[in-house]
Structure 1
Amino acid sequence: MFGLESTSIKIISKGGLTGETVNQLTNELSKYTFKVMLKYQGTTTIANSSLGVMSLGVPEGAEIQLSVDGTADQLKEVVQTLIDNKFATTV
């Protein structure tokens, strides 16, 4: 069953989600065929949009919501990608 699956993650990228980090993050997340979204302080954006992610202004150490329009397994796959690339860790 497809639906909205979400979890909290903590950003560990040095300096938060800015500049080159955002480019690397969006390149990784654009590989997915399903929608991946990030939410921080009440604002949600599509995770493969560099400008959208940059506009969130997420600092290092911040806790954000990660959502996928898909399955729990797809959410786990995205979380693992973020951990493997040292963007985030689980909360």
Structure 2
Amino acid sequence: MAEQTMKITAADGVHARPATALVQVAGQYEADVNLEYNGKSVNLKSIMGVMSLGIPNGAEVTFSTEGSDEAEALEAVVAKVKEENLGE
């Protein structure tokens, strides 16, 4: 299992457009990819799950991956968060 915690710095938090981008990246990997916020964990491959978290600006979130390509999946998700200017 691999994981990384990040702080969401985007003014609007994780809204529909960046959430969709994250779901698309996670979907490219076989590993289970999860997003945890405020004690709740959801599958990052599910747009409804991600949106249900209602992640605001300033939130601390943890991405975790588990599976055959977990390292690559985590690296890609973290890169997408930075590319979308969502967090650090």
TM-score by length of 2: 0.79
Partner of 2:83: 84
Q: Does 57-66 or 75-84 show the bigger shift? A: 75-84
Size of the alignment, in residue pairs? 86
Task: Please report how far the alpha carbon of residue 41 of structure 1 lies from its aligned counterpart in structure 2 after TM superposition.
Answer: 0.7
Partner of 2:37: 40
Unaligned runs of 5+ in 2: none
- 1:27 aligns to 2:21 (yes or no): no
Unaligned runs of 5+ in 1: none
Percent identity between the aligned chains? Answer: 29
- Equivalent AA in structure 2 for residue 43 of structure 1: K
- CA change 1:22–1:72 in 2 (3 A) is closer
| Cα distance in 2 between the residues matched to 1:29 and 1:43 | 18
Matches within 5 A, 1:9-28: 9-28=6-25
Q: Please tell me whether the aligned partners of residues 13 and 21 of structure 1 are also in contact (alpha carbons under 8 angstroms).
A: no
Q: Does 13-22 or 49-58 show the bigger shift? A: 13-22
Q: Please tell me whether the aligned partners of residues 25 and 77 of structure 2 are also in contact (alpha carbons under 8 angstroms).
A: no
- Equivalent AA in structure 2 for residue 82 of structure 1: V
Say which SS state the counterpart of residue 88 (structure 1) adopts.
coil
- Equivalent AA in structure 2 for residue 83 of structure 1: K
Q: CA RMSD in A?
A: 1.9
